[in-house]
Structure 1
Amino acid sequence: MADAGERARRILSAAGLGEGDLVTVRSLDGGTYNTVEELVLTDGRRLILKTPPPPETPILRYEHELLPGEAEFYRGAATVDVPAPHVVVLADGRLLMTACPGTPWHLASLEEAEQRTLRRELGGLVARLHRVTGPAFGYPSAATGPLAPDWRTAFTAMYDAVLADARRYRAWLPRPVDEVARTAKAAYDTLDEVTVPRLVHFDLWEGNILVERDGAVRIGGLIDGERMFWGDPLADFVSLALLGNIEDDPEFLTGYQEIGGQVEFTSAARQRLALYRSYLYLIMLVETVPRALGDEDVTWRREVVAPQLTAALDELGG
């Protein structure tokens, strides 16, 4: 594998920038899948380079060809003026983009009033994201199947793929894989209510929301859009309320509805939310095997994430 300097020079060349424009390359923490590096140029610009893992790396099925999807997310965000990185170039499987200002939300030392203000702003930004529509449903990479004309076909293929990963990696789950499959299937009829494929980030936990201070606090960027798909906008509410319930976040919902976001927590909508929660928590448990996570992280997921998966399945079956 090329070293950091060589990777940076190659991508700068692909972007039409001179190799001599590079000042420094610095590895960034926080990524659990791609290699992430900051490139500083002679004119002071900061760019972010993402490089996927080597082909032989064990991964989940949906993780094939993530970076083209991330680029698609940023292009979509730009059309609705949502702060996010801008794509510089996607070449040789690597993504070069601009850096956004700010600090990850969970590291920003925010006062309670600032948290409320930001949640309302975030609601508006997500509502704008959900105005962006796609050509069909599913992952752009077709990792779990080609883009589908209906959401049921796309999402059930996504769900089946993570269950197949659970079997392949013999991942620990709080319930048998076949039981999980049967429970989820009982709620699949509710997916037919979704008729328009919309831009879904699906990883909007606080670590992927940058906060900047320029007098008052504001959101500097929504980052790490690599797990995006075209689907039901309700699915974004899962990571936005990770290990919780978006209905307990009135500031976010107010901001979402002020900008035109439409949400009604009907029985069918809550069933779909439970499906999407179970999907995300399955991913979080199954990925511990190919990621070879340490004992502390595995224990946390079994003690904290697994009960959330069980609760979502109980809701689906209840």
Structure 2
Amino acid sequence: MRVSPTQRDLDPGQVRRFLTASLGSGAEVADCGPLSGGGFAAVWWVRLADGRDVVLKVGPPPHVRLLRYERDMIGAEARYLRLVAARAPGVPVPALLHHGRHRDLGDWLLTARLPGRTLWDLTRAGADVGPLRAGFGRALAAVHTVTGERYGYDGGRASAGTWREAYLAMVDDLLADAADWAVPLPVPASRIRDLVARHAAVLDAVRRPALLHFDGWAGNVLAVDGPDGTPRLSGLVDGERYLWGDPLVDLVSPLLFRRAEDEPDDPLVRAYREASPVPFDAGVRRRLGLYRLYLYLLMTVEMPSRNITAASDPGRVELLATLLDAELGDLAG
């Protein structure tokens, strides 16, 4: 059953229509089915008659309300895939086969399907994921070598000429979304703005807009077994939330609900710092705290737009409120 109104209800006939629009009338679908794990787009795997395995990602219907940063996210993922393929080719991302926009069909992507199981599934199965997490850390460091021209999001969304200004604009957009959707926050929005502004000067240490994946939770990391049977990185997927800014942002989602600076021996953290040294000094810790604040605020604000409630996802509201309160408390202290 579809949870989020941003996810279209697809059927095999509709999938065939998207494939024809992408690859032409000669594209024949042998089999297809939905993929789970995401909450924004509808995603289906497709086996073509010629043996190719592809993934179809379809954006929300035009009438569905979105958060401000979610505008044109399907197009954003297409741009991300092109960027990584051209400028960080050592990082395994799906090959972009087609990005389509159509008055009736909407916005969609067709990509090659990468092999492997997710880091999330492997972790739950008790596999040795240390080498995989290390490979993920090195891949993030490679992505971060790509430099943009501005900070923040592209496509007319929150951005600026400095990282401080872009971050403040991003927070302002989330707080505006919270007001639009009447999302309860643990403290008034004005209090969040004041605390963020008080510490925003630490963001001026960022002098280069690095390419950021931003959504590196374990469900977006794929692996196949290496020669020794240990899972190895085979893909980094779902780049639709990419932005430009401080590389430290990408040490938040991969250690969701944890603190990277408190776990320097985590394989991902250790491998990342070997490839891109960063000291966990007071300024870095403060920046990481601001980025966790942004992520937890985003996860809180998006709940109504996804039809997520305390009843449908027990404990999420309380957990995020606790985490937000902890980060705000650190800023206040």
| TM-score where L is the length of structure 1 | 0.92
Measure how far apart 1:51 and its partner are.
1.0
Name the counterpart of 1:70. Answer: 77
Specify which of 206, 213, 225 is matched with residue 239 of structure 2.
Answer: 225
In structure 1, what is the Cα distance between the partners aligned to 2:235 and 2:311? 30
| Structure-2 change in CA distance of 1:280 and 1:297 (3 Å) | farther
Q: Pairwise mapping of residues 171-210 of structure 1 onto structure 2 (< 5 A)?
A: 171-210=183-222
Give the structure 2 partner of residue 216 of structure 1. Answer: 230
Q: State how 1:15-94 maps to structure 2 within 5 Å.
A: 15-78=22-85, 79-80=87-88, 81-92=90-101, 93-94=107-108
Counterpart for residue 119 of structure 2 = 105
Of 266, 282, 298 in structure 2, the residue corresponding to residue 283 of structure 1 is 298
CA drift of 1:54 comes to: 1.1
Q: Which amino acid aligns with 1:122?
A: F
* Alpha-carbon distance between aligned partners in 1 of 2:80 and 2:70, rounded to the nearest angstrom: 15
SS in structure 2 at match of 1:173: coil
CA–CA separation in structure 1 for the residues paired with 2:234 and 2:250: 19
User: Which structure: greater helix fraction?
Assistant: 1
Give the conservation status (yes or no) of the 8 Å contact 2:32–2:45.
yes
For structure 1, which segment, 116-125 or 272-281, has the greater mean C-alpha deviation from structure 2 after superposition? 116-125
Give, in angstroms, the shift of residue 306 of structure 1: 1.6
Determine which of 280, 293, 297 is the counterpart of 2:308.
293
Structure 2 CA distance for aligned equivalents of residues 3 and 256 of structure 1: 39
| Per-residue deviation, 1:289 | 1.2
What per-residue deviation string (whole Å, max 9, x for no partner) do you get for residues 63-93 of structure 1? Answer: 1111122122222332321111111111112
User: What CA deviation, in whole Å up to 9, does each residue of 1:42-71 have, x standing for no partner?
Assistant: 121111111111122122111111112212
Tell me by how many angstroms 1:140 deviates: 1.7
Counterpart Cα distance in 2 of 1:105 and 1:130: 21
Taking only the aligned residue pairs, the percentage that are identical comes to 36
Match of 1:151 in 2: 163
- Tell me if the contact between 1:86 and 1:98 (Cα under 8 Å) persists in the aligned partners: yes
Q: Secondary structure at the match of 1:89?
A: strand
Moved more, 181-190 or 293-302: 293-302
Q: Deviations over 1:270-290 (max 9, x none)?
A: 111111111110111111112
Q: CA deviation at 1:205?
A: 0.8
Structure-2 residue corresponding to 1:241: 255
Counterpart CA distance in 2 for 1:109 and 1:2 is 30
- Which residue of structure 1 lines up, in the alignment, with residue 4 of structure 2? none
The 1:3–1:246 alpha-carbon spacing in structure 2 relative to 1, beyond 3 Å, is closer
Instruction: Number of aligned residue pairs: give it.
Output: 315
The one-letter code of the counterpart of 1:314 is: G
Alignment RMSD (CA, Å):
2.1
Gaps of 5+ in 1: none
Is the contact between residue 65 and residue 143 of structure 1 (CA under 8 Å) also seen in structure 2?
Answer: no
Using the TM superposition, give the Cα deviation of residue 113 of structure 1 relative to its aligned residue in structure 2, in angstroms. 7.7
Aligned match of 2:328: 313
8 Å CA contact 2:210, 2:245 repeated in 1: yes
Q: Match of 1:29, SS?
A: coil
Q: Alpha-carbon deviation of 1:138?
A: 1.4
Return closer, same or farther for 1:104/1:113 CA change in 2, 3 Å cut-off. Answer: closer
Superposed displacement of residue 95, structure 1:
1.1
Distance 2:23 2:307 in 1: 38
Paired residue secondary structure (1:108): helix
Distance 1:194 1:240 in 2: 21
